[in-house]
Amino acid sequence: MCGIVGVIAPDASRRAFEGLKSLEYRGYDSWGVCVPAAKGGQFDLERHVGRIANALVSVGEGSEIALGHTRWATHGNVSERNCHPHLSNDGSVAIVHNGIVENFVQLKEKLSKKGFRFNSDTDSEVIANLIQHHIACGFVEAVRLSLLEIEGSYAIAALHGGEEKIVCARNGSPLVIGAAKGGEYYVASDATAFLQHTKNAVFLLDHQMAVCGKGLLEVRSVESGRRVRFRQKRLSWSIEQVRKGSFDHFMIKEISEQPSSIAAAVNQPRKELARFVSILSGARNIVLLGCGSSYHSCIAGSYFFSSVAGINARAILASEFPSFAKFYGKGSVVVAVSQSGETADLLEAVKAAGGENGAKVISIVNVMDSSLMRASDCTLLMNAGPEICVLSTKSYTSQLAILLLLAYSLAGDEWGGKQIIREAADAAKSILDSSRGAMQALAKKLADSNSLFVIGRSDAFPVSLEAALKIKEVSYIHAEGFAGAELKHGTIALVEQGTPAIVLSTQKTRSLTTSNAIEMKSRGAFIIGVDSQPNDAYDININVPELGSANPLMLIIPIQLLSYYLAIERGCDPDKPRNLAKAVTVK
């Protein structure tokens, strides 16, 4: 997963280092920076295990060119020798890589026979040595020839000693180039790494490479080596959106932004929305695909489509789609949901459904120009702004808002959909204001819990899954979400004196969820009701307004706050939970 940066600008190593800090969400087990050495066509390298956090880069003062990398280990354990940048054997080539070189064993064998030695356990190191192997053809051509030998996915940036240029390329992993005044160039996995220097961006396509020098940018086809035209785009994200501002963490900042991000989700271009509706109305069958929180949005979407539009759509985990792909061919519609638009399992499923099977692919994505957006027939953007915290919070409610808007539009009531989502945005503000203190107090009470259960019925069932995921991924307390009726089919055996149980209840489901709450309470559970009404079955009632079909957007907000405060109480970093990365670009 990993994040990469390359900088051609004054004070390059510090800028690369700053850029890496905003890419840490892509991986944060180790990091490194390199700059050209004073002489000899070699490089000065700085690499560390652990997070960048408050570290300082020490190499490269005054350097005008630098590479940086933040790692989420795939091949090779977390150790300094496996940190990027990697150097070639003679030290003349430096590379940073995000992705997986699938044929690295064969390439390693081939290079070993030619006398190359390897200093790390990574797949990436072969790239540096391949480039050195081909260097007699010139740096740019050597990179191209090396890429032609690589099977797998990559976003790479490379330097060659003595040359003031960065050669970068992408295939399956994101890469964007920022062009700033004064001929400065930035290469990064994500534009947040250079947003403070420029909003002008060139998004490389798969199988494209670029040569960036002072005041020079060329884009070429990896296959032919020929120059190709490219378009510069103006980014709409602002620098304030990628800074914490007065907040302690991105997680609480992004939770607090939901009144505006939910409202922004309804601002969809009329033409695109109409296209979505026409594709969905003409579908033989519909499948919603996603991973993690986005999968939970898909399940919620299937409830919205059923209850609001009377349409049957199935939600399937993208990674499990291969078992069902045969049912979704020509005439079917795949709705792919993803914050990053880079999740490998989802891209794979979309490729199979859209390409080989002939289904139409439409997507709901937050990151503009992401791989998913490119692989889709059309896309609705979430307009949530950058989400930096590894956990999905505002992107989850934006996905719900768009799926709800689609359901209303399919029912011929786009106006009604927009209206209820705007009400939800206002209500989100009042929930945030009213429940913050209560959630902080509840987090203190629950901080030592070993296990916690969440139940919901109907459209609150997918919210129970998302609520449990939020709690466990950020506080490391075991949490399980399930449909209220399932309780008696097994899980109730785990309820004992003091077990916390969150009951998500709405007008539609209240009578049955109350019975489930009482069943748990009579076995000693401590019941936390999230409901618009008080109830004797609840030990604590978290009040959320009743908003009919928009209830799922309401029910999750207090739980996001609770998860955040649980992480704080337990001394966990809410923005970077252990072992997780925001963009899961490996299968």
Residues designated catalytic: 2, 582
- Nearest alpha carbon to residue 87 among 43, 144, 33: 43
- Rounded to whole angstroms, how far apart are CA atoms 188 and 166? 12
Length of the chain equals 587
Cβ atoms 75, 123 nearer than 8 A: yes
Taking contact as CB under 6 A, which single stretch among the options 146-154, 250-258, 286-294, 305-313 is the one that binds ligand F1P? 286-294
- Rounded to whole angstroms, how far apart are CA atoms 285 and 300? 17
**69 sits near ligand F1P (criterion: CB under 6 A):** no
Q: Which is nearer to ligand F1P, 391 or 442 (CB)?
A: 391
**343 sits near ligand F1P (criterion: CB under 6 A):** yes
Cα angle value 571/572/576 (rounded, 5°): 150
Closest distance between ligand F1P and the C-beta of residue 339, in Å? 4
**392 sits near ligand F1P (criterion: CB under 6 A):** yes
- Rounded to whole angstroms, how far apart are CA atoms 348 and 466? 23
Q: Exactly one of 23, 390, 407, 454 binds ligand F1P (CB under 6 A); which one?
A: 390
**585 sits near ligand F1P (criterion: CB under 6 A):** no
Angle between helices 394-410 and 270-281 (to 10 degrees): 60
Three-state DSSP class for residue 120: coil
**346 sits near ligand F1P (criterion: CB under 6 A):** yes
**391 sits near ligand F1P (criterion: CB under 6 A):** yes
**191 sits near ligand F1P (criterion: CB under 6 A):** no
Interactions with ligand F1P, residue window 287-326 (CB under 6 A)? 291-294
Closest distance between ligand F1P and the C-beta of residue 469, in Å? 8
Q: Which is nearer to ligand F1P, 291 or 463 (CB)?
A: 291
Taking contact as CB under 6 A, which single stretch among the options 152-160, 337-345, 375-383, 530-538 is the one that binds ligand F1P? 337-345
Q: Which is nearer to ligand F1P, 129 or 293 (CB)?
A: 293
Q: Which is nearer to ligand F1P, 263 or 346 (CB)?
A: 346
What is the DSSP annotation of 337-391? EESSS--HHHHHHHIIIIIIS--EEEEEESSTT-HHHHHSSEEEE-------SSS
Closest distance between ligand F1P and the C-beta of residue 342, in Å? 7
Q: Which is nearer to ligand F1P, 307 or 319 (CB)?
A: 319
Q: Which is nearer to ligand F1P, 16 or 391 (CB)?
A: 391
**563 sits near ligand F1P (criterion: CB under 6 A):** no
Categorise residue 138: left if φ over 0, alpha if ψ from -120 to 50, beta otherwise: left
Closest distance between ligand F1P and the C-beta of residue 293, in Å? 3
Q: Which is nearer to ligand F1P, 514 or 585 (CB)?
A: 585
Closest distance between ligand F1P and the C-beta of residue 238, in Å? 21
Pure H helices in 447-509: 461-475
Three-state DSSP class for residue 528: strand
Residue 130 corresponds to which tokens in the numbers above? Answer: 């391949």
**339 sits near ligand F1P (criterion: CB under 6 A):** yes
Taking contact as CB under 6 A, which single stretch among the options 56-64, 89-97, 338-346, 349-357 is the one that binds ligand F1P? 338-346
Interactions with ligand F1P, residue window 481-520 (CB under 6 A)? none
- Nearest alpha carbon to residue 384 among 269, 467, 266, 272: 266
E-strand ranges in 18-64 read 30-36, 43-49
Taking contact as CB under 6 A, which single stretch among the options 134-142, 164-172, 195-203, 387-395 is the one that binds ligand F1P? 387-395
**560 sits near ligand F1P (criterion: CB under 6 A):** no
**Is the link from the previous residue into 85 a cis peptide, with omega within 30 of 0?**
yes
Cα–Cα distances (Å) from 567 to 293, 447, 485, 497, 503, in that order, read 18, 8, 30, 24, 21
> What are 332's strand-pairing partners?
285
Closest distance between ligand F1P and the C-beta of residue 580, in Å? 6
Closest distance between ligand F1P and the C-beta of residue 395, in Å? 7
Per residue in 113-130, is it b (16+ CB within 10 Å) or e — as a string? eeebebebebbbbbbbbb
State the amino acid at position 485 in one-letter form.
Answer: A
Q: Which is nearer to ligand F1P, 293 or 379 (CB)?
A: 293
Q: Exactly one of 129, 153, 198, 340 binds ligand F1P (CB under 6 A); which one?
A: 340
Closest distance between ligand F1P and the C-beta of residue 350, in Å? 11
Q: Which is nearer to ligand F1P, 286 or 584 (CB)?
A: 584
- What Rg value do the Cα atoms of the chain yield, rounded? 25
Question: Measured at CB, which residue is nearest to ligand F1P?
Answer: 292
**160 sits near ligand F1P (criterion: CB under 6 A):** no
Closest distance between ligand F1P and the C-beta of residue 294, in Å? 4
Three-state DSSP class for residue 85: coil
Helix (H) or strand (E) holding 98: strand 93-101
Q: Exactly one of 328, 509, 582, 585 binds ligand F1P (CB under 6 A); which one?
A: 582
- Rounded to whole angstroms, how far apart are CA atoms 203 and 576? 27
Positive or negative torsion for Cα 336, 342, 343, 347: positive
Binding site for ligand F1P (CB under 6 A): 291-294, 338-340, 343, 346, 390-392, 582, 584
